[in-house]
Amino acid sequence: MRKIPTGGFLSPSKRTNSMGVQAEDTRICVIMVGLPARGKSLIAQKIVRYLGWLSITAKTFNVGQYRRSATPNPSAEFFDTSNPEGERLRRAAAEAAVGDMCKWFREGRGLVAILDATNSTKSRRRWILERCQAESIATLFVESKCDDEDLIMQNILEVKTTSPDYKGQDPEEAARDFRERIRNYEKVYETIDEDERDLTYCKLINVGHQVVINQIRDYLQSRVVYYLMNLHIRPRSIWLSRHGESQYNLVGKLGGDADLSSRGEAYAKTLPSLVQKSAGDRQLTVWTSTLKRTIQTARFLPFEKLEWKALDELDSGVCDGLTYAEVEEKYPEDFAQRDEDKYNYRYLGGESYRDVVIRLEPIIMELERSENILIVTHQAILRCIYAYFMNVPQERSPWMEVPLHTLIKLTPKAYTTVEERLKADIPAVSTFREKGSRARGNTIGDGAKPLSPTAQEDAKGLGLGLAADGKPVMGDAKPPPES
Ligand SMILES: O=P(O)(O)OC[C@H]1O[C@@](CO)(OP(=O)(O)O)[C@@H](O)[C@@H]1O
């Protein structure tokens, strides 16, 4: 089994964003360039989501939306460059979008704006460059070129026929009109070339096949370009699972490197068939952390396995090995502070969710490059990865409930990520503690059934109290209240 170490990333602090201080003083306008149906909006939306996940506020300014408020249902002729009225209205929409974007920067609302439009002529690009220079905003032109007819068709059908421009129209008619619109743009389209070598740009040819970069100057630009270099748009899914129930989960202890409980073992044995149900005969690659509970959970899966240090559970520092109740008793202020701002709270000698996101960045990058990956990891880590794909806000992500013994399948689509959950029929405790709730032990997650005889043995072996009815009394002196 190969071991992959974590990358040496900047050490985070609560006051800087996740990319380090340099990013704080740079404002960048990313200008999309390309014919319609080349995945520009998808790329723009991915950049915004990626940067947001890294605490860099970014926003898309979509010129189409500005144009639509003046001209909601234009025909293909509207986009004919020999039509002066169409030209005037399209220019007005671009001016309104750029104007709002500059105002957004001036008000200090964020660091990265994405100007999503075709920006298909040199004169249009020059005009945007000058507007940005006048406001001291750095620019990064991102051109998406695509000559793969299948990909273009797929994009036309999947995205454009559901566009507000074609609302209520016959999809065949909408696709025909849209192809006509593309032909009109093709008449005037100028790719970024030698004459524009003073521009900072990144040209993506058939996303994921070839990348040309020019004049990348600063840190934030290079981070965005690096992200773009790792993208591909082939259809794929990602599977996520927590490890099976561990001995520590049974007693409500945090962290550690415990073995699986007998129910966790049962989940490990069931996982191959659960995965087969969800992924069919696809050959997956399994990524685990370096901790025993994930390695044990993955061990029956008939696939290549990689261990990542970056996938290890959030380090709970001095609280490692304690229960929530013990943390509350020993460190009452810390316990309250964590509830107050769980994303930023850093355990004494340990980590915060913000820290975890930074060490997960190489994982996200690798995930973007890959296909068919199954990740077996931990509660906090899974929350962070899930938040990236599902665009969950920072303040909410640490509070998401991620049950044990459940396989999650995520399928990124053009504008959303589709989620499916498959639950194994094996009970497990719930390690979820709601914000503001008093610390108590983990509760049984299967409708409060008594523990099976083997689980009762596990529990006794760990010195865990059992109520008369066989339900565990975990991590606390008092039994959990009946619900
Ligand atoms: O951030 P919170 O909600 O405390 O969740 C993280 C905790 O989840 C746990 C279980 O309580 O994960 P895991 O099951 O992977 O061991 C702890 O080890 C870890 O400290």
- The ipTM (two decimal places) reads 0.90
Residue 477, in any domain of the structure: no
Query: Is the domain of 309 the same as that of 436?
Result: yes
| Structural domain contains residue 211 | yes
Same domain, 341 and 401: yes
Q: Is 245 annotated as a binding residue?
A: yes
Look at ligand 1, atom 8, and give the residue with the nearest C-alpha. 379
CA of 243, closest atom in ligand 1: 15
Q: List the end-to-end C-alpha distance of the chain, in Å, as a whole number.
A: 45
- My answer on whether 175 and 246 are in the same domain is no
Q: Which atom of ligand 1 is nearest to the CA of 291?
A: 15
- Whether 7 maps to a domain, the answer reads no
Q: Render pLDDT for 450-461 as a digit per residue (tens, 0 to 9).
A: 445 554 554 454
pLDDT at 457: 57
Q: 189 is in which domain, residue-wise?
A: 28-230
Q: 282 a known binding residue?
A: no
The CA–CA distances, whole Å, from 252 to 2, 10, 327, 473 equal 31, 33, 11, 10
Question: Would you state the pLDDT for residue 156?
Answer: 82
Choice from 243, 292, 335, 378 to test ligand 1 binding pocket (greatest atom count within 8 A of CB): 378
Kindly state whether residues 309 and 393 are assigned to the same domain. yes
Q: Which of 143, 265, 313, 328 is catalytic?
A: 313
Across the range 188-206, mean pLDDT stands at 96
Nearest CA to ligand 1 atom 5: 380
- What separation in Å is there between the alpha carbon of 211 and the centre of ligand 1? 40
d(CA 78, CA 87): 8
Q: pLDDT tens-digit profile of 201-220?
A: 999 999 888 999 999 999 99
225 and 300 part of one domain: no
Ligand 1 geometric centre to CA of 150 (Å): 45
- pLDDT at 162 (0 to 100): 64
Residue 243 annotated as part of some ligand binding site: yes
Residue 106 resides in a domain: yes
pLDDT-based confidence at residue 415 (cuts at 50, 70, 90):
confident
The pLDDT of residue 454 is: 54
Active-site residue identified among 143, 243, 307, 378: 243
Residue 265 pLDDT > 90, yes or no?
yes
Burial letters for 203-236: b for 16+ Cβ neighbours within 10 Å, e otherwise?
bbebbbeeeebeeeeeebbebbbebbebbebeee
- Please report which confidence band the pLDDT of residue 339 belongs to, taking 50, 70 and 90 as the band edges: very high
pLDDT number for residue 160: 60
Q: How large a percentage of the chain has pLDDT more than 70? A: 85
Instruction: Give the pLDDT band of residue 21 (cuts 50, 70, 90).
Output: very low
Residue 470: what pLDDT?
Answer: 44
**Mean pLDDT of all residues in 148-167:** 77
Radius of gyration of the chain (CA): 26
Tell me, yes or no, if 180 is annotated catalytic: no
> Tell me, what's the pLDDT at 216?
96
pLDDT tens-place string over residues 35-79: 998 989 889 999 999 999 999 999 999 998 898 887 777 777 777
Q: Which residues have C-beta atoms less than 6 Å from ligand 1?
A: 246, 248-249, 254-255, 313-314, 316, 378-380, 398, 431
Last residue of a domain, one of 183, 207, 230: 230
Strands (E), 273-319: 285-288, 304-308
Q: Is 397 annotated as a binding residue?
A: no
Give the tokens for residue 14: 């609560």
The predicted structure's pLDDT at residue 441: 65
- Count of other CB atoms within 10 angstroms of residue 311: 26
Are 286 and 303 in contact, with CB atoms under 8 Å apart? yes
456 in a domain, yes or no? Answer: no
Pick the last residue of a domain from 177, 206, 230.
230
Q: What is the pLDDT of residues 231-262, one digit of tens each?
A: 987 789 999 999 999 999 999 999 999 999 99
- Cα–Cα distances (Å) from 114 to 97, 105, 285, 352, 437, in that order, read 10, 12, 34, 30, 41
In angstroms, what is the span from residue 253 Cα to ligand 1's centroid? 8
Q: How confident is the model at residue 462 (pLDDT cuts 50, 70, 90)?
A: very low
132 pLDDT tier (thresholds 50, 70, 90): very high
pLDDT of residue 247: 98
Q: Are residues 266 and 200 in the same domain?
A: no
CB atoms inside a 10 Å sphere around CB 351: 20
Query: Among the atoms of ligand 1, which is closest to the Cα of residue 431?
Result: 11
Domain end, chosen from 182, 201, 230, is at: 230
What DSSP character marks residue 448?
S
247 has binding-site annotation? yes
Q: What percent of the chain has pLDDT over 90?
A: 67
Q: What is the pLDDT of residues 311-330, one digit of tens each?
A: 999 999 999 999 999 999 99
Residue 302 and residue 157 in one domain: no
Q: Please indicate, yes or no, whether residues 258 and 226 belong to a single structural domain of this protein.
A: no
340 belongs to a structural domain: yes
| Domain match, 196 and 311 both | no
- The pLDDT-based confidence of 26 (bands split at 50, 70, 90) is confident
Is residue 208 domain-shared with residue 270, that is, in the same domain?
Answer: no
Report CA(248)–ligand 1 centroid distance (Å): 10
- 343 CA from centroid of ligand 1 (Å): 14
Q: What is the CATH number of the domain that holds 114?
A: 3.40.50.300
Q: Could you tell me the CATH number of the domain that includes residue 408?
A: 3.40.50.1240
pLDDT category of residue 6 using cuts at 50, 70 and 90: very low
Tell me which of 473 and 422 has the higher pLDDT.
Answer: 422
Is 260 in the same domain as 366?
A: yes
**Cα 347 to ligand 1 centre (Å):** 13
Does 483 reside within a domain? no
Look at residues 34, 29, 227, 30 and name the one whose alpha carbon lies nearest to residue 143: 34
Domain for residue 21, yes or no? no
**46 and 89, same domain (yes or no):** yes
**What does the pLDDT average to over 363-370?**
95
Q: Is 107 a catalytic residue?
A: no
Total domains in the chain come to 2
Task: Indicate the top mutation candidate among 431, 442, 443 to test ligand 1's pocket, ranked by most ligand atoms within 8 A of CB.
Answer: 431
